[in-house]
């Protein structure tokens, strides 16, 4: 049977991927200046591998999937490695680790143990010793030929110049030790400070800094950089060393730095436990790791598995969940925010980034889209660091389809059709229709959010239904819903409806700061809202304040002051406040020095059933009291909710009065009745 013909589009795509990968190899290995993350690179690499696997005959002899790295830079002497410096096959999921094990078991029947090691994100070096003396050090280069960096490597303190005699170890006359040279994170920070102080560009990451430091023509500079090393390979190992674990132990005895976090394990379950542990524990290390290398321990079993063109078959590199990935832009939508701001959002081919699936990434505003030149059909790298919203880092221009057209911001709101107005002071365009359904939805979500009214269980699914059924159209409507109505919601049993109704009812007494924040005034975040609440104390005082008075509040400033004044004076703002008050929402005045509970310290313990703890504490503060987290002799009273913890025992021991939630609520209401209402 003949081979399937390869479609020209596939050929072109493979050629483009090859070009792109070779380009990044050069940036990474030769210039030490990568433009995309390792994960983004891996994604391209995998895509090319998949194409080549699906279309045999597509692979070229010089495809980056069969060659390693990039050619050596011109200004260092080239050296040929005695044996090629191989690379490792990657595994991105536990499933792929399982497939690695299957391959081993098919050939070996049983695996006599694994060694797991951290995969150090540094630079591979090869160290040649003759008669126990360091003679040559080389970088990996393209795996076959590297650069001679002997003079620089001699400045690395933990690489021995001369090996001691160790009883029972007969070293071969010529031998090679391979490992990773890296820069500790703490050194990286120090060097970058120095770079900046000298007006030089900072290094992008410790790996680049290590590479830049190792490839200095002046070894004096390298010495100042305080590079370090971890070694992990020995070729050929002396007689009697029959496994990776023995090799590592012996290298350590010879004075090499061998990473202490290695482990010899018997089963894949133990391998898995190690992977899970280091997936997070790595953040505590003073050096960067990008994965775990899993190796067959026994040397004879390693030999039996052998190698394929680029990598040994007895080892695999498990890569930690990347924080950056490459995917395709399927569309660019415009979403309307709570303040009416129109934000272009990239709709993406779903991709796993840092452990969760990403389907959208914000493009911030139209200037940003233009600056990055993101187009539908583009391949982009997407980054999610910590818990921030995923963002598009850059477009991989070489992979742009010819038909991709620049993005154009729509003239009108995709939700309500009104003209989007570009505001001179802001980067974005705004939908200025206060009745816009998208704005209404966002505002309700904002209102129910953690820093605002904190209504538990009132998320997008509930808000969408409430809007669709027409039960809620203003903020105040949320507080007019009874449990019977809520019980009619799809998927809502009586019990959860009652819970939601209770949560709504409980949030009728927000602190003034939360109330202000909940209004959703442009530029007013939780911190500004608190500053305003603390300054004015009551809603009435805030409403009576003039624009200059607002702007003069510490931490507010003229721009925000103007936005607050404009909002409170606008028809929309006035209606919103009146609507909330009419629905029974009463902001608790902020702590005043003359509050009835001044000087009193309240400690809450256990779960309260009537309102969230944040609110209970807010009300204590509103009365001038202090809400503390631990019990001492100075504590005035301890409120014990359900399942109280050790604080209750402590209160009993210290003889501090203890009251239950009912009594607490009674006292709160009594004291609040005595304060002038805002
Ligand atoms: S073993 C024959 N062990 O990762 C394969 N490599 O992607 C020898 N690396 O080229 C590699 N830490 O530069 C091995 N504990 C470790 C490693 C490690 C980092 C690097 C090394 C290698 C690359 C493979």
Query: Going by CA atoms, what residue is nearest to atom 22 of ligand 1?
Result: 87
- 3-state secondary structure (DSSP) of residue 503: helix
Average pLDDT over residues 428-453: 91
* pLDDT of 385 strictly over 80: no
Q: How far apart are CA 284 and CA 292, in angstroms?
A: 15
Residue nearest to atom 18 of ligand 1 (CA): 119
Query: Residue 490 pLDDT more than 90?
Result: no
Q: Are 519 and 576 in contact (CB under 8 A)?
A: yes
CA of 513 to the centre of ligand 1 (A): 54
Q: Which of 61, 119, 319, 372 is catalytic?
A: 119
Instruction: For a ligand 1 pocket test, name from 293, 295, 305 the mutation site with the most ligand atoms within 8 angstroms of its C-beta.
Output: 293
Q: Which of 86, 166, 181 is nearest to 127 (CA)?
A: 181
pLDDT band at 318 (very low <50, low <70, confident <90, very high): very high
* CA 117 to ligand 1: nearest atom: 15
Give the pLDDT score at 68: 55
Per-residue pLDDT, averaged over 26-48, amounts to 79
Domains and CATH numbers, the chain: 8-67 (1.10.287.610), 90-319 (3.30.470.30), 324-402 (2.40.50.140), 437-506 (1.10.150.20), 512-582 (1.10.150.20), 601-673 (3.40.50.10190)
Do strands 123-130 and 133-139 pair parallel, antiparallel, or not at all (unpaired)? antiparallel
d(CA 426, CA 310): 52
CB 395 within 8 Å of CB 378 = yes
pLDDT at 648 over 80: yes
Question: Would you say 48 and 14 are in contact if contact means Cβ atoms under 8 Å apart?
Answer: yes
For the chain, the farthest-separated pair of C-alpha atoms sits apart, in whole angstroms, at 93
Closest of 89, 85, 80 to residue 68, by C-alpha: 85
Q: Whose CA is nearest to atom 10 of ligand 1?
A: 87
Residue 368 pLDDT class (50, 70, 90 cuts): confident
Atom 2, ligand 1: residue with shortest CA distance: 86
Task: Find out whether 596 and 553 touch, Cβ atoms under 8 Å.
Answer: no
CB distance 25 to 62 below 8 Å: no
CB atoms within 10 A of CB 357: 9
Q: What is the mean pLDDT of residues 302-312?
A: 91
Task: Return the half-sphere exposure (C-beta side, CA atoms, 13 A cut-off) of residue 348.
Answer: 28
Question: Any idea what the Cα angle at residue 510 is, between residues 509 and 516, rounded to 5°?
Answer: 135
Q: Which of 120, 126, 231 to mutate to test the pocket of ligand 1 (most atoms within 8 A of CB)?
A: 120
Q: Which residue's CA is the nearest one to ligand 1's atom 13?
A: 124
Average pLDDT, the chain: 88
Higher pLDDT, 367 or 216: 367
Token pair in block for residue 460: 């997008």
Partnered with residue 115 across adjacent β-strands are: 264, 295
CA 292 to centroid of ligand 1, rounded, Å = 9
For residue 108 the two structure tokens come to: 């070996």
Q: Provide mean pLDDT across the span 614-640.
A: 85
| Consecutive H or E run containing 137 | strand 133-139
pLDDT at residue 335, as a whole number: 93
Q: Please spell the DSSP secondary structure of 86-116, one letter per residue.
A: ----EE-SHHHHHHHHHHHHHHHSS---EEE
Predicted local distance difference test score (pLDDT) of residue 72: 47
d(CA 603, ligand 1 centre) in Å: 54
Range 92-102 average pLDDT: 93
Q: Which of 427, 435, 264, 235 is nearest to 341 (CA)?
A: 427
pLDDT at position 1 is: 43
**pLDDT band of 70, cuts 50, 70, 90:** low
Q: What is the mean pLDDT of residues 521-534?
A: 89
> Residue 107's pLDDT band (boundaries 50, 70, 90)?
very high
Both tokens of 587, joined, read: 């902001």
Q: Which range has the worst mean pLDDT, 32-41, 168-177, 300-309?
A: 32-41
What distance in Å separates the CA atoms of residue 32 and residue 209, rounded to the nearest whole number? 8
Mean per-residue pLDDT, 140-168? 92
- Going from the C-alpha of 82 to that of each of 176, 447, 556, the distances in angstroms are 9, 67, 67
pLDDT in tens, 557-607: 899 999 999 999 999 899 999 999 999 999 987 766 667 888 899 999 988
Q: Which atom of ligand 1 is nearest to the CA of 119?
A: 12
Contacts for 320 with CB less than 8 Å, ≥ 6 apart = 278, 279, 282, 289, 290, 291, 292
Evaluate whether 14 touches 58 at the Cβ level (below 8 Å).
yes
CA of 87 to the centre of ligand 1 (A): 7
Distance 293 CA to ligand 1 centre (A): 7
Residue nearest atom 6 of ligand 1, based on CA coordinates: 119
Mutate to test the pocket of ligand 1, among 29, 39, 81, 124 (most ligand atoms within 8 A of CB): 124
Mutation test of ligand 1: which of 88, 181, 295 has the most ligand atoms closer than 8 Å to its C-beta?
A: 88
Give the helix/strand (H/E) hosting 268: helix 268-281
pLDDT for 677 beyond 50: no
If you take atom 21 of ligand 1, which residue's CA is the nearest one?
Answer: 124
**What pLDDT sits at residue 69?**
53
Q: Ligand 1: distance of its center to the CA of 310 in Å?
A: 12
For ligand 1, atom 12, the nearest C-alpha belongs to: 119
Q: Active-site residue 647, yes or no?
A: no
Quickly count: other Cβ atoms within 10 Å of residue 595's Cβ: 22
Q: Which two tokens stand for residue 608?
A: 């309260």
Q: How far is the CA of 384 from the centre of ligand 1 (A)?
A: 26
Pick 177 or 12 by higher pLDDT: 177
Closest residue by CA, ligand 1 atom 9: 119
Q: Atom 17 in ligand 1: which residue has the minimum CA distance?
A: 119
Question: Could you tell me the CA-to-CA distances from 375 to 29, 139, 429 in Å, in that order?
Answer: 30, 39, 19
* Ligand 1: nearest atom to the Cα of 121: 19
Ligand 1 geometric centre to CA of 180 (Å): 8
In sequence order, the 6+-apart residues with CB closer than 8 A to the CB of 5 are none
What is the pLDDT at residue 42? 79
Residues paired with residue 498 on neighbouring β-strands, in sequence order: none
**Ramachandran angles phi, psi of 675, nearest 5°:** -95, 150
Q: Which atom of ligand 1 is nearest to the CA of 312?
A: 2
Stated length of the chain: 678
pLDDT band, residue 258 (cuts 50/70/90): very high
Retrieve residue 176's tokens.
């090679």
Contacts of 181 (CB under 8 A, 6+ apart): 122, 123, 125, 153, 156, 210, 214, 227, 228, 229
**pLDDT greater at residue 327 or residue 435:** 327
Q: For a pocket test of ligand 1, which of 70, 87, 207, 235 has the largest count of ligand atoms closer than 8 A to its C-beta?
A: 87
CA 327, distance to chain mean position in Å, is 17
Give dist(CA 116, CA 267) in Å, integer.
Answer: 11
Decide which of 67 and 289 is more confident.
289
Q: Whose CA is nearest to atom 4 of ligand 1?
A: 119
Higher pLDDT, 426 or 518: 518
Pairing of strands 174-182, 429-431: unpaired
pLDDT at 59: 78
Q: What average pLDDT does the segment 309-330 reach?
A: 89
Cβ-Cβ contacts under 8 Å for 477 (sequence gap 6 or more): 471, 583
Which protein residues are within 6 Å of ligand 1, measured from CB?
86-88, 117, 119-120, 124, 180, 232-233, 293, 312, 315, 317
**3-class SS at 590?**
coil
What percent of the chain stands above pLDDT 90? 51
Q: How far is the CA of 155 from the centre of ligand 1 (A)?
A: 22
- 163 C-alpha to center of ligand 1: Å? 23
The whole-angstrom distance between residue 153's C-alpha and the CA centroid of its chain comes to 35
What is the rounded distance in angstroms from the CA atom of residue 671 to the CA atom of residue 38? 60
Q: Which atom of ligand 1 is nearest to the CA of 307?
A: 2
pLDDT tens-digit readout, 202-246: 776 788 889 888 887 778 888 888 999 999 999 999 999 999 999
The per-residue DSSP string of 185-240 comes to: HHHHHHHHHHHHHTTPPPPSSHHHHHHHHHT-SSHHHHHHT--EEEEEEEESPPTT
Strands ordered across the beta sheet of 626-628: 626-628, 601-605, 637-640, 658-660
CB-CB contact of 305 with 133 (8 Å)? no
416 CA to centre of ligand 1 in angstroms: 56
Query: 40-45 long-range contacts, Cβ below 8 Å, gap at least 24?
Result: 40/322, 40/324, 40/325, 40/326, 40/381, 42/90, 42/92, 42/319, 42/322, 43/325, 43/326, 43/327, 44/17, 44/20, 44/326, 44/396, 45/21
The residue with tokens 């210039």 is: 31
Q: Give every CB contact of residue 630 below 8 A, 6+ residues apart in sequence.
A: 603, 647
């Amino acid at each position: 049977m003949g081979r399937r013909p390869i479609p020209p589009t596939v050929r072109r795509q493979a050629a483009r991927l090859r070009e792109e990968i070779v380009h990044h190899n050069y940036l990474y290995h030769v210039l030490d200046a990568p433009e995309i993350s390792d994960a983004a690179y891996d994604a391209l690499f995998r895509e090319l591998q998949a194409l080549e696997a699906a279309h045999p005959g597509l692979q070229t002899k010089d495809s980056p999937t069969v060659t390693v790295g990039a050619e050596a830079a011109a200004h260092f002497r080239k050296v040929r490695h005695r044996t090629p410096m191989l690379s490792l096959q990657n595994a991105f999921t536990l499933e792929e680790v399982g497939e690695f094990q299957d391959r081993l078991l098919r050939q070996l029947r049983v695996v006599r143990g694994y060694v797991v090691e951290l995969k150090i994100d540094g630079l591979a070096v090869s160290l040649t010793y003759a008669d126990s003396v360091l003679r040559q050090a080389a970088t990996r280069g393209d795996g076959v030929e590297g650069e001679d960096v002997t003079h620089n490597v001699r400045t690395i303190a933990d690489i021995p110049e001369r090996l001691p005699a160790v009883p029972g170890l007969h070293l071969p006359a010529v031998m090679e030790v391979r490992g990773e040279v890296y820069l500790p994170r703490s050194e990286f920070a120090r060097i970058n400070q120095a770079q900046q102080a000298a007006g030089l560009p900072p290094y992008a990451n410790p790996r680049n800094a290590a590479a830049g430091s190792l490839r200095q023509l002046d070894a004096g500079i390298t010495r100042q950089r305080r590079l370090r090393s971890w070694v992990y390979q020995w070729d050929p190992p002396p007689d009697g060393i029959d496994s990776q674990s023995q090799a590592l132990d012996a290298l350590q005895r010879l004075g090499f730095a061998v990473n202490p976090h290695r482990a010899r394990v018997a089963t894949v379950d133990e391998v898995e436990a190690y992977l899970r542990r280091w997936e997070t524990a790595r953040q505590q290390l003073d050096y960067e790791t990008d994965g775990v290398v899993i190796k067959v321990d026994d040397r004879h079993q390693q030999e039996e598995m052998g190698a394929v063109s680029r990598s040994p078959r007895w080892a695999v590199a498990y890569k930690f969940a990347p924080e950056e990935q490459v995917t395709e832009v399927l569309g660019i939508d415009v979403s309307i925010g709570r303040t009416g701001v129109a934000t272009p959002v990239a709709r993406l081919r779903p991709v796993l980034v840092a452990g969760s699936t990403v389907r959208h990434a914000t493009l911030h505003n139209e200037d940003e889209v233009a600056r990055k030149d993101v187009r539908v059909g583009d391949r982009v790298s997407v980054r999610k660091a910590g818990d921030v919203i995923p963002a598009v880092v850059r477009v991989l221009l070489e992979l742009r389809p010819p038909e991709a057209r620049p993005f154009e911001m729509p003239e009108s709101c995709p939700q309500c059709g009104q003209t989007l107005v570009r505001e001179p002071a802001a980067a974005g365009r705004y939908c200025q229709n206060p009745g816009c359904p998208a704005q209404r939805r966002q505002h309700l979500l904002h209102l129910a959010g953690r820093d605002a009214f904190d209504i538990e269980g009132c998320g997008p699914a509930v808000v969408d239904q409430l809007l669709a059924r027409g039960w809620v159209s203003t903020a105040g409507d949320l507080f007019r819903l009874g449990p019977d109505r809520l019980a009619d919601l799809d998927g809502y049993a009586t019990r959860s409806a009652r819970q939601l109704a209770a949560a709504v009812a409980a949030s009728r007494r927000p602190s003034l700061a939360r109330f202000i924040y909940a209004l959703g005034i442009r530029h007013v975040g939780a911190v500004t809202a608190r500053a305003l609440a603390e300054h004015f104390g009551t809603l009435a005082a805030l409403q009576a304040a003039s624009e200059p008075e607002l702007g003069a509040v510490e931490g507010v400033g003229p721009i925000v002051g103007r936005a607050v004044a404009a909002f409170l004076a606008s028809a929309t703002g006035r209606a919103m406040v009146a609507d909330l008050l009419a629905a029974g929402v009463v902001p608790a005045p902020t702590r005043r020095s003359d509050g009835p509970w001044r000087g009193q310290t309240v400690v809450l313990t256990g779960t309260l059933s009537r309102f969230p703890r944040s609110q209970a504490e807010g009300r204590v503060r509103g009365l001038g009291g202090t809400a503390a987290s631990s019990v001492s002799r100075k504590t005035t009273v301890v409120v014990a909710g359900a399942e109280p913890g050790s604080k209750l025992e402590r209160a009993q021991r210290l003889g501090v009065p203890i009251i239950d939630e009912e009594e607490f609520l009674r006292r709160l209401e009594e004291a609040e009745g005595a304060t002038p209402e805002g």
